[in-house]
Amino acid sequence: MDRLPGARRFVRRFVAGTALEDALAVAARLNAEGVDAAITHLGENVATSEDASRAADEYLEVLDEIARRRLRAVPSLKLTHLGLDLGEAVCRTHLERVAANGLAGRTLVWVDMESSAYTDRTLDLYYRLHGTYSNLACVVQAYLRHTAADIERLVEIGATVRLCKGAYREPPEIAFPDKREVDASYTRGIDRLLAPDAMVRGVYPAFATHDERLLDQARETARARGVTADRFELQMLYGIRHDLHGPLRAAGLRLRVLVPYGEDWYGYFMRRLAERPANLAFLFRQLLRG
Ligand SMILES: Cc1cc2nc3c(=O)[nH]c(=O)nc-3n(C[C@H](O)[C@H](O)[C@H](O)COP(=O)(O)OP(=O)(O)OC[C@H]3O[C@@H](n4cnc5c(N)ncnc54)[C@H](O)[C@@H]3O)c2cc1C
């Protein structure tokens, strides 16, 4: 796919490019439009500790460049990129390197959520490190049945937490198979994360979705509860619903766009294709034209 011109063009719709410089250029452009960025170096499930170490080094460079260029941006990383498959100790060492660097520069470090095989290990590591690295932020997925319970625990510790729908194929025993149920779970998440006691505990929620109904619900719930615009943010992915950026910013809302870059784009790109069948049709048309 990498060699087909039509496909490459389409990949570039969702991925800033292969080099860090590409992501930094997009982040600067977003900042100029009043939008914050989260930068992801694409990669997951590394097989050696050298690869894990290289991934952490790359994130240290991301942090350095963010600081050097004074960008309003943060890194957003995956624990399997930092070696979670090789054991918690390997992953923790690398995560702490990145988190400590972020903490020194007062920059959040977002820990993405991967498939359910990693949910508990990811949250456990987050709970263990949260006291030391207050700049760590985590993610919960509305499609998981257990997420309501996870949110309760995150509210208790006053976490910085992204709520997304969830992007992996999961069995119905652990995830809601029906989109309406996922949306209802998301709505409950909005309600809980913006509850007065969550705000008092210092919870900072990020509502990551392109679903206009849910974006409206987050805004409306915050407004009705008197939660000011600096106490939560909305998040979107690079290349999706760019048309919403202007109106959300004009309404005075904080918006962050996740900007991925790197050679290892296949898994990320496939998830973007899978969540929207129309993308697949578009890709085939591009391939035929290419
Ligand atoms: C900032 C951010 C961080 C994320 N981090 C994680 C994470 O850590 N773990 C995880 O599992 N998932 C993550 N996701 C992905 C998320 O779980 C969903 O898979 C993804 O956001 C699509 O769901 P949606 O909420 O936009 O709702 P949907 O109901 O899927 O989509 C709503 C509308 O958004 C548009 N849209 C959505 N997806 C696409 C697409 N691929 N191409 C074109 N248009 C689209 C369409 O207009 C669609 O009608 C993240 C998403 C965002 C925005």
Contact (CB, 8 A) for 19 and 261? yes
The whole-chain average pLDDT of the chain stands at 95
- Percent of the chain surpassing pLDDT 70: 99
Model pLDDT, residue 123: 98
Position 290 scores a pLDDT of: 62
Calculate how far, in angstroms, residue 169's C-alpha sits from the geometric centre of ligand 1. Answer: 14
The one catalytic residue among 92, 150, 162, 272: 162
DSSP 3-state of 143: coil
Question: Which among 92, 112, 150, 183 is annotated as catalytic?
Answer: 112
Tell me, in angstroms, the distance from the centre of ligand 1 to residue 286's CA. 22
Strands (E), 9-144: 36-41, 73-77, 109-111, 136-141
Residue nearest to atom 24 of ligand 1 (CA): 209
In the prediction, which pLDDT does 72 show?
98
Residue nearest atom 51 of ligand 1, based on CA coordinates: 208
The answer to whether residue 249 is catalytic is no
Share of the chain above pLDDT 90, in %: 86
Q: How many CB atoms lie within 10 A of CB 32?
A: 8
198 in contact with ligand 1, CB cutoff 6 A: no
Which of these, 22, 9, 6, 2, lies nearest to 259 by C-alpha position? 22
Q: Which residues contact 234 (CB under 8 A, 6 or more apart)?
A: 206, 207, 208, 209, 215, 218, 248, 253, 254, 255, 256
Residues in a beta bridge with 140: 163
Tens digit of pLDDT for each residue in 109-165? 999 999 999 999 999 999 999 999 999 999 999 999 999 999 999 999 999 999 999
The residue whose CB lies within 8 Å of the most ligand 1 atoms, and thus the one to mutate among 14, 240, 265, is 240
Q: Which residue, chain included where needed, has tokens 């939660």? A: 227
Determine how β-strand 233-237 pairs with β-strand 255-261.
parallel
Atom 53 of ligand 1, nearest CA residue: 236
What is the position in ligand 1's atom list of the atom closest to the CA of 112? 8
What is residue 264's three-state secondary structure? coil
Helix (H, G, I), strand (E, B) or coil at 273: helix
Tell me the pLDDT tens digit for each residue of 235-280.
999 999 999 999 999 999 999 999 999 998 888 988 998 888 888 8
User: Which atom of ligand 1 is closest in space to residue 179's alpha carbon?
Assistant: 29
104 alpha carbon to ligand 1 midpoint, in Å? 31
Question: 276: Cβ below 6 Å to ligand 1?
Answer: yes
Segment 276-287 shows an average pLDDT of 80
| Residue to probe by mutation, ligand 1, list 209, 216, 282, most atoms within 8 Å of CB | 209
Report the residue among 79, 118, 210, 282 best suited for mutation to probe ligand 1: largest number of ligand atoms under 8 A from its CB: 210
At residue 283, the pLDDT reads 80
Q: Note if 162 is an active site residue.
A: yes
Residue 230's nearest CA partner among 265, 188, 199 is 199
